Structure 1
Amino acid sequence: MKNPFNPSFGKMPSVFLNRDSLTQRIVTELNRVGSPFQTSLLSGQRGSGKTTLMTEVSNLISKDKNWLVINLVLDDDLLVSLINQLQRHLLNLKIIKNIDLKMNFFGLDMSASFHQQTESNFQLLFQDALEKLTKKGFHVLINIDEVHLTPLLKKFASCYQIMIRNNLNVSLLMAGLPENVSEIQNDDVLTFLLRANRIVLNPLDIESIKNSYQHIFSKAGYTFSTETLLYMTKQTQGFAYAFQLLGYHLLEEIIHSSNKTISISDINNILDTYISELNRNVYFKVYSDMSEREKEFVQAMVKSKQHKVKSQIIGNLMKKGPNYIAVYRRKLIDDQIIKPNGYGYVSFLLPYFDKFVEQEMILDEF
């Protein structure tokens, strides 16, 4: 059988956990006049399912012939790519007759330097295309993944705000890491994004993961005890990428076995591979992007040798006061690296991240 789990980044997995209702809600809201979802910011840690959710929303809304989806990459061609895609839609819909580079757009000779002219006159080109599409009853959804603050993004967002103010049929869905989304919202030029709808992708609930594992493996002809099922579920801690990764490796491990009963030892057999790929594909980048003070905070958590750690203990290990600790506690919670776990306590949100931090601490000693 084909493995239904897909731990590859950027690809749509066959198993899409517990986000169908959220996908449907976003699409429903995008079709509602005046909805706060018209401008939405998806935030979540690496592997939380941002790209998958964005893809699901795009696929669902594309079924409506009045919606056009534009996917953009945040690079030097951001503005040019947007205008190119809008013009291609105008051509395909026969709203304009041709789109060769010699056409005059607002009297501009676009053959001279298409890239330069597009960036210089982006607002006019953007508005003209949207006015034509809006007049014909079309709506445009613009998707930008992996967002972070750049001059081009600021220019695009500022022009987008004007399009909204002019009541043109355009919506925006951007996805990024929590710290990058916060930086964009708090930029002095982009304060209007503070009013945008922010969708935080929190960990998946344990019950959904448990039921999904049971359904998928039962369909493949395997059985396991409640204890084994709960043990497997616990290894993911609700992390969307971990759910895909663990399921993928377990199925690859047992697929050629004649024994159709999955045991805890089967799961333990693939844990080293599972943890190694979590480290390589997610945690190395997460940890390297942390500030030195944030690293000291999580290192103190590891040094405490406790599953849930009191903030006071972290403060004692770091030799810092409550106010100092509170700042970094809040930052790491917002970045989805740790989570509150009872009054005054925190624990790691990501599965086995404490083991990765411990490994890095040992390596730093050499």
Structure 2
Amino acid sequence: MGANPFTPTFGSVPPELAGRAQLIKDILEGLENGPGDPNRASIFVGPRGSGKTALLAAIAEQAEEMGWISVNVTAREGMLDEIMVQTREKGSHLIRPEASSHVTGVQIRGVGFSRELVDRRSTWRSEMTAILQELNDAGAGLLITVDEAASSSEELYTLVDVFQHFVREHRNVALLLAGLPHNVSLLLDDDGISFLRRAFRHSMEAIDDNDVADAIKETVENAGRSIDPKALALAARGAGGFAFLIQLIGYHMWRQHPNEERVTLEDVENALALAKHDMERMVLEPTVRSLTPREMDYLLAMTQDGSVSQVSSIAERMGVAPNNASKVRKRLVERGIIGPRGRGRVAFEVPMLKEYLLERAGEL
């Protein structure tokens, strides 16, 4: 049999991207429709491991197949320079070499001419406008994807400001952002970046079990094996609609008996146990170790509820004043461990964390 087709690595693009087909279709149609299509300014919002980075990468790959130049960055210092460098590199066959020097004489030195660098005053917007004009003249669009979008990134404000001018100028360009729920909320609340409030916002919600099953089945079959129907159903349920877990469970079930033609129920049962162990080691244990005592109390109080907790009930269980509990909640939300679910309600954002805390409540 071939190599393991499942890719439990954050950010890697799996062979089958479960449950995101319509979303990808909408974005790609937006690129085809031309300047002005609202899908050309979109934000993907979800917890870590929900597939945001993989989705950005998948769209970028397909955009390149359509003739677009795609540049992919993370919202951190140096992002703007990285966008320009990537654009010049990937579009080098369409863009003239940067005119940063001119001939000052004809003094022959072997072969060639003497050149002198010239200080040219410009802005990032003017530089990118010139580059984008050349790309558009050549029939190519520019797709910019930004991961880990947050209000703490000053350069992101510049990018969005320049992008809205590109939109007004009807340039062939698109901007896709991805970020954690709280970070995106803070970003959109800032009046200095109000243009983004008109962007399409897509929530990376739990993937339907049927879509998960389809993706697992297609991945297995395309790699030359088959999977028992009961095993497939168990794997789909075990993933809980979480993109990273789909790949993690798939990876482990494949490697149980990689040379056998069929993935069995036993293979999946073993894979679920291994995936749980990996999630604990890679995600849950580091998360719990980083908690303060008050943060731990807050999360343990949440485990007494169903899927959503009332913040007033949490404060009562903790035995603290509501304003003190709100400070703890704020820290947990900012770290992406929990998230708001409407006014006065919160829920766990990290998959399996609630179950992990319940199993170890007496040890914590």
In structure 1, distance between residues paired with 2:190 and 2:292 = 20
Alignment correspondent of 1:44: 46
Q: TM-score, with normalisation over the residues of structure 1? A: 0.76
Q: Residues 338 and 90 of structure 1: is their aligned pair in 2 closer, same or farther, counting only changes over 3 Å?
A: closer
State the AA in 1 paired with 2:236: T
Provide structure 2 residue ranges, at least 5 long, that are not aligned to the other structure.
104-114
| Contact 1:42-1:200 at 8 Å conserved across structures | yes
Identity of aligned residues (%): 25
Q: Residues 335 and 31 of structure 1: is their aligned pair in 2 closer, same or farther, counting only changes over 3 Å?
A: farther
Give 1:80-91 correspondences, 5 Å limit. Answer: 80-88=81-89, 91=92
In structure 2, distance between residues paired with 1:103 and 1:279 = 59
Matched, 1:29 2:30: yes
In structure 2, distance between residues paired with 1:89 and 1:211 = 34
State the AA in 2 paired with 1:158: D
State the AA in 2 paired with 1:131: Q
| Contact 1:42-1:175 at 8 Å conserved across structures | yes
Q: Deviations over 1:179-226 (max 9, x none)?
A: 222222222311211111112111110112234434555675555353
Alignment correspondent of 1:71: 72
2:186 aligned to which of 183, 187, 190: 183
| Contact 1:17-1:209 at 8 Å conserved across structures | yes
Alignment correspondent of 2:279: 278
Q: TM-score, with normalisation over the residues of structure 2? A: 0.77
Q: Residues 230 and 307 of structure 1: is their aligned pair in 2 closer, same or farther, counting only changes over 3 Å?
A: farther
In structure 1, distance between residues paired with 2:117 and 2:363 = 57
RMSD of Structure 2 on Structure 1 (CA): 4.0
Q: Residues 351 and 138 of structure 1: is their aligned pair in 2 closer, same or farther, counting only changes over 3 Å?
A: closer
- Of 52-61 and 156-165, deviating more is 156-165
State the AA in 1 paired with 2:169: N
In structure 2, distance between residues paired with 1:153 and 1:351 = 29
- The secondary structure found in structure 1 opposite 2:239 is coil
State the AA in 2 paired with 1:123: R
Q: How far apart are residue 26 of structure 1 and its match? A: 0.6
Q: How far apart are residue 9 of structure 1 and its match? A: 1.6
Alignment correspondent of 2:197: 194
State the AA in 1 paired with 2:56: M
Q: Deviations over 1:274-305 (max 9, x none)?
A: 12322343345666788987654432122x2x
In structure 1, distance between residues paired with 2:214 and 2:298 = 35
Q: Residues 90 and 187 of structure 1: is their aligned pair in 2 closer, same or farther, counting only changes over 3 Å?
A: same
Aligned residues: 344
| Contact 2:143-2:173 at 8 Å conserved across structures | yes
- The secondary structure found in structure 2 opposite 1:12 is coil
State the AA in 1 paired with 2:354: D
Q: Residues 222 and 156 of structure 1: is their aligned pair in 2 closer, same or farther, counting only changes over 3 Å?
A: closer
| Contact 2:47-2:350 at 8 Å conserved across structures | no
Q: How far apart are residue 63 of structure 1 and its match? A: 2.1
- The secondary structure found in structure 2 opposite 1:42 is strand
In structure 2, distance between residues paired with 1:91 and 1:308 = 51
Q: How far apart are residue 5 of structure 1 and its match? A: 1.0
Alignment correspondent of 1:61: 63
State the AA in 2 paired with 1:224: D
- The secondary structure found in structure 2 opposite 1:9 is coil
Q: How far apart are residue 337 of structure 1 and its match? A: 4.7
In structure 1, distance between residues paired with 2:194 and 2:308 = 36
